[in-house]
């Protein structure tokens, strides 16, 4: 079974801008057909949301953009990256691999900057670009 990864990009006003389930959830308990994905998504959102305060606390105590693992929930870890514009990239994962996660964050941040340069994109609005989504998934497949 593969590892589980769930990425959320949170805008500077604490609104979710992008989210993606990047791997199979191998640790989730079995549930009836049709409800597993939805329940898993809500649990992942809850875990990320609860770690948001910790990310904001940690970001003011360091000059680094990559904050490493900031929180843990059962067997899940939450790693974070904060951009200069106060956009938070948060990754929920069940395996620890600091180097690949750091590289993943840097590459996704670079993609995000390209989206910001688009004159038709409004800052802190959801990213619905399918090209962005497919690139994030390719980076995740390669690095995570």
User: CA angle at residue 137 from 56 to 26, to 5 degrees?
Assistant: 80
Instruction: Residue 102: give its domain's CATH number.
Output: 3.30.450.70
End-to-end CA distance of the chain: 14
pLDDT of residue 37: 60
pLDDT digit string, tens, across residues 92-109: 998 888 999 999 999 999
Task: Give me the chain's average pLDDT, please.
Answer: 87
Q: How confident is the model at residue 25 (pLDDT cuts 50, 70, 90)?
A: very low
List the domain range (segments joined by +) for residue 27.
5-143
Whole-model pTM over 0.95: no
Give the chain's domain count: 1
CA-CA-CA-CA torsion for 19, 22, 23, 28, nearest 10 degrees?
-10
State the number of CA atoms in the 13 A half-sphere of 115 facing the CB.
24
pLDDT digit string, tens, across residues 51-87: 999 999 999 898 899 999 999 998 899 999 999 999 9
Q: How confident is the model at residue 43 (pLDDT cuts 50, 70, 90)?
A: confident
pLDDT of residue 29: 42
């Amino acid at each position: 079974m593969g590892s589980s990864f769930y990425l959320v990009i949170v805008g500077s006003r604490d609104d979710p801008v992008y989210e993606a389930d990047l791997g199979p959830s191998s640790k989730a308990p079995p549930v009836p057909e049709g409800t597993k994905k939805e329940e898993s998504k809500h649990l992942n959102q809850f875990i990320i949301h609860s770690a948001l305060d910790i990310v904001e606390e940690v970001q003011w105590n360091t000059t680094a953009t990559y904050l490493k693992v900031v929180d843990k929930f059962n067997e899940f870890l939450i790693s974070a990256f904060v951009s200069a514009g106060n956009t938070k990239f948060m990754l929920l994962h069940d395996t620890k691999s600091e180097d690949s996660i750091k590289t993943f964050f840097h590459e996704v941040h670079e993609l995000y900057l390209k989206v910001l340069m688009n004159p038709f994109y409004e800052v802190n609005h959801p990213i619905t670009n399918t090209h962005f989504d497919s690139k994030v998934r390719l980076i995740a497949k390669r690095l995570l």
